[in-house]
Amino acid sequence: MKKLYIITTLLLFVSLGIFAQNRTKKPVNVSIFQNTPVLFNPTDYPDGVTEKDGLIYLGNGRIVLKKIHIPEFRNYTETEIKITLVSNGDPWDKSGSCFVIPRNSKITMLDVAADKASYPQQDTLKYEQLTGIVSGNDYVPTVELMRFMTPFGVGHFSNNEDSVSKRRRPVYVDGWAENVSWKQDITDLLPLLEGEAYIGVYIDTWTKEGYKVDVELSFTESNLKNDKKPKTHVLPLINTNYYIGQRHPDIFSRKDVEIPFTVPKKAKNVRLKYITTGHGGHAGGDEFRPQRNILKVDGLEVLNFLPWRTDCASFRRFNPTSGVWLTKKEMAYISNEGKRAVKEIEEPLASSDLSRSNWCPGSDVPPMKVNLPNLAAGSHTLTISIPESKPITDNKLNHWLVSAYLVWEE
């Protein structure tokens, strides 16, 4: 009996291995951007739309766009995005966003940049003066494929003999990283990519050197005949990234933001994806102070969490130009004589080490997922609340970058 059990188990593992091998084809990799500059240079990239090297630049070079053509897949297809980034001379940490423009949006950032259209006006009681953050007449907000944060100077300043960074490297970092790279599963967003689409990268840089980025999409389709791709729909709800013609969004410091949406009758497996990061760059601001994000659907709380990263010191090797302070502390150590001892030392503390509102210099920002299995067809309202956020005052640019979309099958 024991021998039969072992043989059966082995056969099961063999069959599972064959299944795993046969289920998926070899991934199809599509390179979108290669060593592509993203920078701020009004001389070479004037206001409006600039076409250069087969790419489209907006915002004086801070946004780069490319039209892609992706075939429609018949079977279930896993989709992944990979972004690799180096500094081209910008020593600072900056927010970044890789996005896709929904095909059903008749007004796009391209039209706004070319002065051919404006974002639709919204109810100022609900959205103040923040145009372009929610759907309106002929407009659908941009959908983020990945939110990311550039580290301080990775690549350009990573030479261990660099005059800027060599004295900032702590003993526990054996060498600065040459680049930073992130991957995320974006299978839910495949419907926005199949066919023709504009994909872009935005970095909030204000230097003429900026950054260089690589973006690659990977599609892995199932081989199984009955593993058909579900008919998936994506409904963009909000995006407060200030890409083109938009303002820093400190609205959450004054009110909750409500977004109406409609779920069709055939919708099933409804889920909400939510991306959030707090910014401000000063002590006590939205960047350096933990604050709860609360989401409600029709007044019922569906997500209440503290978007706060405490592991930023683990990204130290990506941040050669981060500012460093010396802090005094009592340190226990083992002396040369092998005895335990304590003495006061000065220890380096880098800006990139500090905890932040859901991001670190050099990190990506995965979306939060909220399953809404009991959401009925019809009209609904999503409410986003960040009750402890601060308003913009003088040079204190407090704001929260949030984006959200719904996904469902039919």
Residue with token string 């933990």: 290
> Using CB atoms within 10 A of its CB, is residue 355 exposed (0-12), middle (13-18) or buried (19+)?
middle
How many angstroms separate the CA atoms of 344 and 261, rounded? 59
pLDDT at position 90: 98
DSSP, collapsed to helix, strand or coil, labels residue 52 as strand
3-state secondary structure 322-363: CCEEEEEEEEEEECCCCCEEEEEEEEEEEHHHCCECCCCCCC
Residue with token string 């992706």: 70
Q: Are strands 340-350 and 195-203 parallel, antiparallel or unpaired?
A: unpaired
Dihedral sign from CA coordinates of 8, 11, 15, 16: positive
Residue with token string 């959200």: 404
How many angstroms separate the CA atoms of 37 and 57, rounded? 10
The answer to whether 153 and 91 have CB atoms below 8 angstroms apart is yes
DSSP, collapsed to helix, strand or coil, labels residue 285 as coil
Dihedral sign from CA coordinates of 74, 214, 82, 191: negative
Q: How many CA atoms within 13 Å lie on the side-chain side of 180?
A: 29
Buried b (16+ CB within 10 A) or exposed e, 180-209: bebebebebbbbbbbeebbbbbbbbbebbb
Rg (CA), the chain: 24
pLDDT at position 26: 81
Collect all residues with Cβ–Cβ distance below 8 Å to 246 and sequence separation of at least 6: 119, 130, 131, 132, 133, 240
The answer to whether 157 and 209 have CB atoms below 8 angstroms apart is no
What's the token pair of residue 331?
A: 């340190």
What value, to the nearest 5°, has the Cα angle with vertex 21 and ends 17 and 24? 140
Phi and psi torsions of 253, nearest 5°: -75, -15
Specify the DSSP element, H or E, that contains 14.
helix 2-23
How many angstroms separate the CA atoms of 37 and 312, rounded? 26
pTM of the complete model: 0.92
pLDDT at position 22: 53
How many angstroms separate the CA atoms of 252 and 308, rounded? 17
Domains of the chain: 23-409 (2.60.120.1570)
Q: What is the pLDDT along the chain (410 residues), one digit of tens a residue?
A: 445 444 444 444 444 444 444 556 788 999 999 999 999 999 999 999 999 999 999 999 999 999 999 999 999 999 999 999 999 999 999 999 999 999 999 999 999 999 999 999 999 999 999 999 999 999 999 999 999 999 999 999 999 888 888 889 999 999 999 999 999 999 999 999 999 999 999 999 999 999 999 999 999 999 998 899 999 999 999 999 999 999 999 999 999 999 999 999 999 999 999 999 999 978 888 999 999 999 999 999 999 999 999 999 999 999 999 999 999 999 999 999 999 999 999 999 999 999 999 999 999 999 999 999 999 999 999 999 999 999 999 889 999 999 999 999 99
Tell me the one-letter amino acid at 284: G
Q: How far is CA 67 from CA 53, 70, 139, 241, 245, in A?
A: 13, 10, 19, 21, 21
How confident is the model over 384-406, as pLDDT tens digits?
A: 999 999 999 988 999 999 999 99
pLDDT at position 121: 94
How many angstroms separate the CA atoms of 124 and 71, rounded? 41
